[in-house]
Chains A and B, each alone.
Chain A
Amino acid sequence: MSANLINLLIEATLQTLYMVAISGALGTLFGLPIGVYLAVSQRGELLSSPWVNKVLGLIVNAARSVPFIILVVAIIPFTRMIAGTSIGTTAAIVPLTIAAVPFIARLVENAIREVDSGLIEAARAMGATPLQIIRKVLVPEALPGITLGLTLAVVSLIGYSAMVGAVGGEGLGDLGIRYGYQRFMPEVMLAVVVILIVLVQLVQSLGEGLARLVDKRAPRNRGR
């Protein structure tokens, strides 16, 4: 493989990392509070508001029903409004974030709902406000689950990022299509696939490691 190709691979890897990192961060920024709200606004919960919950749930479901490649082209006007352009790696972050938010919201919602209701009751008995319960009880207690959820979301984003070549987003997926497939360079395709596998493995291991670190639920030898 020529030095030129290796440079292309390195550049594409960095572009993928850039898109995934920014859309993952933005997705968490918006998805986390939405997920928390989805969990606590259910009937009988802390901020019970069944109608708002239902409507929000419908929106989240609708966003998640759209296949990603359709989403990318369907929201081009919106992307142009936000990013100033609808073409390129930075522009691709917009649909990636739009896809990440509802996905992360559902994962966070599930993690929050796993928290033992006895803890909420204990916090209420202490005189905690709903916001205090969310900040001091629900989110810290759900953190292992949220961490694993975010890991899953980032892995999915790595996969999604391969499709944004459709709107001129670069990265590993785009490289694989243009060089590996269209120019019949199987070695490039192989390299792209190997790099993607390694990336996903790294993200997964890192995520699981972090989740273990924040999970204090099981006793373990702490070196004492």
Chain B
Amino acid sequence: MADVKTSGAAITFDKLGKSFAKKGSGQVMALEDISLDVAPGTITGIIGRSGAGKSTLLRMVNGLEQPTSGTVTVAGHDVGRASGTELRRIRREVGMIFQHFNLLSSRTVYGNVALPLEIAGVPGAEIKRRVDDLIARVGLEQFSTRYPAELSGGQKQRVGIARALATQPKVLLSDEATSALDPETTQTVLKLLADINRDLGLTILLITHEMAVVRDIASHVAVIDGGRIVEAGETYDVFAAPQHPTTRSFLSGITGITLPSFIAGKLMSERPQGESQEVIRITFAGRHATDPMLAKLTSELGIPVNILAGAIEEIGPHPFGNLLVSVEATRGAEARAYLERHELLTEVLGYVG
């Protein structure tokens, strides 16, 4: 047996690496030195651009890809070393949903959900009972005799989710499960995933290129870039204080805090001669997130503040705000020091003349 003692994590990546043979000359590193613990019962999002290696990473959890170095451990099983019957047994403990649903066009909704149970050799009467339950859980009772071609994208993904849950897995892998859906349908599918995570205590590992998906349901996030994890932690912490440029660029896409173009166009990285304004990003997090800090800045220090863009939203139960402001460049340092003293994060984006 390839069982390994673990720290109680549902999924553990340990110094995982994956390289592909390149035609002609040598190897291409797809993933390098990936170490990450996914705690049981959490929803963890892995975010990265296409080609960052996140899909390969996900596929190593159920052995669709084999690591070239390091290990992946799922519920105590070393997946990379498992093969044959043992690997198939592990796979039944890991459900998977896909961007393009991957439903069998030749089977009805019922037949699709029953497939993993047939494969696992579950007796007919038991299949019927479990499939009916699953179809009810995802709210498709009316559709059980329909074929996938007759369903909408959101309904298809619900079938995919029901199918992934059929063998009562401990872990659910989601491969860009909402990327082919419109925003409204995405919300209902994400809510279904969150409900399942809560009700069944299922660990969900999802990969996505949309930070909004992470914000909406993931308690933990890992950012992957160039085959490495560049940042990982609780979603709130990463959103509040992104360290890596890749993380920041993902965040700027969803927090409504890109600079208005008339300012972005004039932005200089060096402070120019003469009068100028310093453009600062302020991140409100933690207990000061709802304090009127800008008003205090003006009243206590007498520094006038221009608000350029901003948004306040929630990540899980916590409020989280982002503001882009400008102040007189001569007083920028003073203003930032004051804000930092009050546990707000600041970052100088540049200067405008």
Q: Which A residues lie at the B interface, using CB under 8 A?
A: 116, 118-119, 121-129, 132, 136-137, 140-141, 143, 214, 216-219, 222
How many residue pairs bridge A and B at CB < 8 Å? 67
Inter-subunit contact B105/A125 (CB<8 Å): no
Inter-subunit contact A116/B119 (CB<8 Å): no
Closest-CB distance, A217 to chain B (whole angstroms): 5
- Chain B: residues with Cβ within 8 Å of the partner, total of 28
What CA separation (Å) do A216 and B107 show in the bound complex?
Answer: 8
**Pick the contact of B107 from A127, A140, A218 — CB < 8 Å?**
A140
List of A residues within 8 angstroms of B149 by Cβ? 216-219
Is B62 part of the binding interface, using a Cβ–Cβ cutoff of 8 Å?
yes
User: 14 other contacts beyond A126-B116, A140-B107, with CB at 8 A cut-off?
Assistant: A116-B102, A121-B64, A121-B102, A126-B115, A127-B92, A127-B119, A127-B120, A129-B88, A132-B119, A140-B106, A141-B104, A216-B149, A219-B147, A219-B150
What CA separation (Å) do A143 and B102 show in the bound complex?
Answer: 17
Which residue of A is nearest B100, CB measured?
Answer: A118
Is B94 part of the binding interface, using a Cβ–Cβ cutoff of 8 Å?
yes
List of A residues within 8 angstroms of B336 by Cβ? none
Inter-subunit contact A128/B105 (CB<8 Å): no
Inter-subunit contact A126/B92 (CB<8 Å): yes
Which residue of B is nearest A141, CB measured?
Answer: B106
Which residue of B is nearest A120, CB measured?
Answer: B102
List of B residues within 8 angstroms of A119 by Cβ? 102, 104
Closest-CB distance, A134 to chain B (whole angstroms): 12
Closest-CB distance, A31 to chain B (whole angstroms): 21
Chain B contact residues: helix, strand, loop or mixed: mixed
What CA separation (Å) do A69 and B118 show in the bound complex?
Answer: 48
Residues from 135 to 184 in B contacting A, C-beta threshold 8 Å: 147-150, 167, 173
Inter-subunit contact A118/B106 (CB<8 Å): no
What CA separation (Å) do A211 and B335 show in the bound complex?
Answer: 73
**What are 13 of the A-B contact pairs (CB < 8 Å)?**
A121-B98, A124-B64, A125-B91, A127-B88, A127-B89, A127-B116, A127-B119, A136-B115, A136-B119, A216-B106, A217-B105, A219-B149, A222-B150
What CA separation (Å) do A209 and B163 show in the bound complex?
Answer: 31
Inter-subunit contact B105/A126 (CB<8 Å): no
Q: Considering residues B62, B94, B104, B149, which has the most beta carbons from chain A within 10 angstroms of its beta carbon?
A: B104
Closest-CB distance, B82 to chain A (whole angstroms): 11
Is B96 part of the binding interface, using a Cβ–Cβ cutoff of 8 Å?
yes
Given contacts A216-B147, A217-B149, are A124 and B100 in contact (CB under 8 A)? no
Closest-CB distance, A29 to chain B (whole angstroms): 22
Which residue of B is nearest A133, CB measured?
Answer: B119
Residues from 97 to 147 in B contacting A, C-beta threshold 8 Å: 98, 100, 102, 104-107, 115-116, 118-120, 147
**Pick the contact of A125 from B89, B96, B148 — CB < 8 Å?**
B96
Which residue of B is nearest A119, CB measured?
Answer: B102
What CA separation (Å) do A121 and B102 show in the bound complex?
Answer: 8
